[in-house]
Structure 1
Amino acid sequence: MNWYLDDAHALHRAAPYTFYIPSTAVLSRLKVDDYVKLIFATDVAEPDGYRGERMWVRITSVNGNQFEGVLDNEPYRLPITLGTVLSFGMEHICQTELEDPAEDEWDYYMDTLVTVSADVLEREEFHFMLRDEPHEEGDSGWSFLSGYEDDAYLNDADHFHIVSIGVILNIDDSILTFVKQPPLCVYERDEDGEFQEIEDFDWDGYLNG
């Protein structure tokens, strides 16, 4: 089984609101004897879907953005051993034990829940967003629609999923400018691709229909 160290920063760029990496402020503070977590990935997925492991490494040498360290985990399946000496770059680090000033922001992306139609996730686009009063802990009240759903689709609860708001922001983060607007509010994308608030939305019909 061949393995390599995955590029955590590239994974973050592909999904910037759901794939956490330590902030620059944290990475710049790393020193000898600190622990960092790296992603050990396999070249080919195993039949059961196994693609590697995240494991802790103790830093033994720092040279700018390059590090040496020793593996501090017993691998579950990879053909390497506890204490293996590794060379790696800052781009391979997906976690540290240091306090991160960006943690509150990441908590928001990951813990804030929204309702989204399956069509949004399939198309990776949305054109309508509505914020009702939250119904339970963690619920933001936001719902997202592609705009292509018909009434029959909308009336089937199986067509809707609960996801973190980070999933939506990965699709279009332009909504960050107003996503914290209080309920009740509705936005629709205009012909120029910009979201505009719908001032005359029929909330009575929506809430009591």
Structure 2
Amino acid sequence: MRLPGPIERQWRRWFGRYEIDDPRPIAEGAPYTYFLPGENELLALAPGDLAKIVFRSIPPGRIWQAERMWVAITSVDRDWLTGTLDNHPSDMPQLEAGDVVKFRRSDVIDIIWDEARMTPPPPAAQRREYWERCLVDRCVVDDGVKVDYIYREEPDMADPDDSYPDSGWRIRGDDRNATDAELDDRKAEYIALGVVLNRDDGWLHLIDAPVGARFRRNWETGLFEACAD
């Protein structure tokens, strides 16, 4: 049985702990949607900069298990940085704004540079992001089914208030071993291209193909080939 809210918060303030997540495994698993600072940016971190890191509550919070918060860097010792928490946690009473935090450069997921000094140069290779939307069989995203057929039509799904446009790409999952009932149950989802690419990027080289383009995967070679329908 969980303690009442105020009592629980006091208990967690006295006895709760936290750990700092290593974001690299997440970035490796989602390279098209989860972006980390480049190595030259991490090496340039210095006192006065703000670094965002992921704090995970122990025990888990009532609302959030982890929170992304900013830390104002005060000192640097090789790979380790020390700073003070620059946010008020939403669901982590064991932490308060101003608390001292020690973390590694590799823990940083975002940076705000001190305006008093020059911002380090961006990474050498400009990163392309894939936030435009597409329509995809949900089994590709949820169940790891490989992409089988892609085609691009005139974009027609975006609303005026959408942050990102419809790319026009329509993506179908492998149906070779699916039953008729399974095919009938398939649902589509309107999501970012990058989410699909995280699951299967074998068609990335075709992403700039024009409206009207259609490709089907040759399962013997694993390559996508142009097709008429």
Shorter chain as denominator, the TM-score bin is: 0.7 to 0.9
CA shift, 1:77, in A, is 2.2
Q: Which residue of 2 aligns with 1:175?
A: 203
With the length of structure 2 as denominator, give the TM-score of the two structures: 0.75
Of 114, 119, 142, the residue aligned with 1:122 is: 142
Structure 2: which 5+ residue stretches go unaligned?
1-15, 114-118, 159-163
Paired positions, count: 197
**Higher mean displacement: 55-64 or 116-125:** 116-125
- What is the correspondence of 1:87-102 to structure 2 with a 5 Å cutoff? 87-98=102-113, 101=122
**Which structure has more helix as a fraction of its residues?**
1
CA shift, 1:47, in A, is 5.1
Distance (whole Å) between structure 2 residues aligned to residue 114 and residue 199 of structure 1: 20
Of 173, 177, 184, the residue aligned with 1:146 is: 173
Give the ranges of 4+ consecutive aligned residues of structure 1 lying more than 6 Å apart after TM superposition: 149-156
- What is the correspondence of 1:129-140 to structure 2 with a 5 Å cutoff? 129-135=150-156, 136=158, 138-140=165-167
> Would the aligned equivalents of 1:187 and 1:195 in 2 still touch at CA under 8 Å?
no
SS at match of 1:144: strand
Distance (whole Å) between structure 1 residues aligned to residue 45 and residue 96 of structure 2: 24
- What is the correspondence of 1:1-209 to structure 2 with a 5 Å cutoff? 1-46=16-61, 48=63, 50-78=64-92, 79-98=94-113, 101=122, 105=127, 108-109=129-130, 111-124=131-144, 125-135=146-156, 136=158, 138-148=165-175, 159-192=187-220, 194-201=222-229
With the length of structure 1 as denominator, give the TM-score of the two structures: 0.81
Relative distance call for 1:192 and 1:117 in structure 2 (3 A) is: same
CA shift, 1:25, in A, is 3.2
Relative distance call for 1:152 and 1:140 in structure 2 (3 A) is: farther
CA shift, 1:42, in A, is 2.2
- Look at both structures and tell me which one has the larger radius of gyration over its CA atoms: 2
CA shift, 1:153, in A, is 7.3
Give the letter aligned to residue 142 of structure 2: E
What is the aligned-residue RMSD (CA, Å)?
A: 2.7
> Would the aligned equivalents of 1:70 and 1:84 in 2 still touch at CA under 8 Å?
yes
Distance (whole Å) between structure 1 residues aligned to residue 202 and residue 36 of structure 2: 21
